Chains A and B, each alone.
Chain A
């Protein structure tokens, strides 16, 4: 967090107005992020490029998103989409921060330097989806045995030991 105390925000009456307050705050402080902002599932959403990802996360933290919720990944075939969940008690809303990484080079900068809580979450995404978090202090498998081969939640994962479910079940 910055040393300066963030400017006080008006008390929102409901979720819709707190999103408006968030949009105004975002647009006034970071006009470049303003066109990327949208509303999803009654929360804010930002879709940024891979290169922008770390700096955007830092800006959001500065703006008042002090709590890291989780990070997960979606396999869309050619790309993986990374979804970060951030929460703000200042605005009273959550934020989806999304970015895409290509399948042939699945790597992204870590955010453990901003939120230490993302350590194990990034290890989980690495373990099951095979996305490398560059700069992570301890990038090892977390759920699967250390000698596991492959990344099971990828759509193209194949394991001879898996018994496919028959149609009649």
Chain B
């Protein structure tokens, strides 16, 4: 990484260097985003959805993501579940064992704010971002596997805006999909029903 850091710093300074840097960024971001191996940090009930996600019905692998039990093999830590004060040092330590570049997905209300344990609890950490840099938040108690997969796609978009050079970003539109965006409606149940009924009525008639 030291070589890359030095190189990117130099490239930013020399005239015309940013052209090379941009192409390098495009390659690096593409390769980083395509196979985000996950560290499944399942500490409570949200882990069930995380597990369901990686099996055949939801098939996380088609996004290039699959769980590895060793933090040294992974790129993204998926925090799924309540983090207690006793668990916090262990989570932090596992995060520190992951090689750079690394990302954190906070899955479920417990990892966002403490969730149902926000009030009257002596033992729960109120949100993973109290001690880890979280990139993507997925609300829900628990979120559906589709939501987690959408979160990974959003993380991929986020990675595509980053640069090898520190502090440099690309301009990318990270707003929610509008009605005419190609991503629109892909998780809309009503649209799914419509498609299914038109397909089945066409097939049987």
User: Which of A13-21, A28-36, A80-88, A157-165 participates in binding chain B?
Assistant: A157-165
A159 to B121, CA, bound (A): 10
List of B residues within 8 angstroms of A165 by Cβ? 119-120
A144 to B122, CA, bound (A): 10
Q: How large is the interface on A (under 10, 10 to 19, 20 to 34, 35 or more residues)?
A: 10 to 19
Contact status of A169 and B122, CB under 8 A, knowing A143-B86, A144-B86, A145-B86:
no
> What CA separation (Å) do A169 and B117 show in the bound complex?
13
Could you say which residues of chain B place their CB within 8 Å of the CB of A137?
none
B123 close to A (CB within 8 Å): yes
Say yes or no for A92: interface residue by CB 8 A criterion: no
Interface residues of A in 132-169 (CB under 8 A from B): 143-145, 152, 157, 159, 161-166, 169
A157 to B123, CA, bound (A): 13
B68 proximal to A (CB < 8 A): no
Q: Per-residue CB proximity of B60-101 to A under 8 Å, as 1/0? A: 000000000000000000000000011000000000000000
Is there contact, CB below 8 Å, between B122 and A152?
yes
Contact A159 B122 (CB under 8 A): yes
Once the chains bind, are A161 and B119 in contact (CB under 8 Å)?
Answer: no
Specify the chain B residue showing the minimal Cβ separation from A161: B122
Residue in A closest to B85 when the chains form the complex, CB atoms: A145
Shortest Cβ gap from A126 to chain B (Å):
16
B55 contacts the other chain (CB 8 A): no
Chain A residues with CB under 8 A of B86: 143-145
Q: Classify chain B: how many residues form its interface, as a range.
A: under 10
Point out the residues of chain B lying under 8 angstroms from A161, CB to CB.
Answer: 122
Please pick, from B85, B119, B123, the residue contacting A163 in the complex, using a CB distance under 8 A: B119
Q: Contacts A144-B86, A145-B85, A145-B86 known; A166 to B119 CB distance under 8 Å?
A: yes
Any A CB within 8 A of the CB of B131: no
Q: How far is the CA of A97 from the CA of B28 in the complex (A)?
A: 66
CB distance from A31 to the nearest CB of B (A): 47
Which residues, 96 to 124 on B, are CB-close (under 8 Å) to A?
Answer: 118-123
Contacts of B118 in A (CB 8 A): 163
Residues of B within 8 A of A143 (CB): 86, 123
Contact A164 B119, beta carbon cutoff 8 Å: yes
How many Å lie between the Cα of A169 and that of B120 in the bound state? Answer: 12
Give the most central of B119, B120, B121, B122: most A CB within 10 Å: B122
Name the B residues within 8 Å of A164 (CB-CB). Answer: 119-120
For residue B118, which residue of chain A has the nearest CB? Answer: A163
Chain A residues with Cβ below 8 Å from B122 are 152, 157, 159, 161-162
Task: Considering the complex, give the chain B residue whose CB is closest to the CB of A143.
Answer: B86
> Which residues of chain A have C-beta atoms less than 8 A from B121's C-beta?
162
Q: How far is the CA of A143 from the CA of B118 in the complex (A)?
A: 19
Contact B123 A144 (CB under 8 A): yes
| 17 A-B interface contacts by CB (under 8 A) | A143-B86, A143-B123, A144-B85, A144-B86, A144-B123, A145-B85, A145-B86, A152-B122, A157-B122, A159-B122, A162-B120, A162-B121, A162-B122, A163-B120, A165-B119, A165-B120, A169-B119
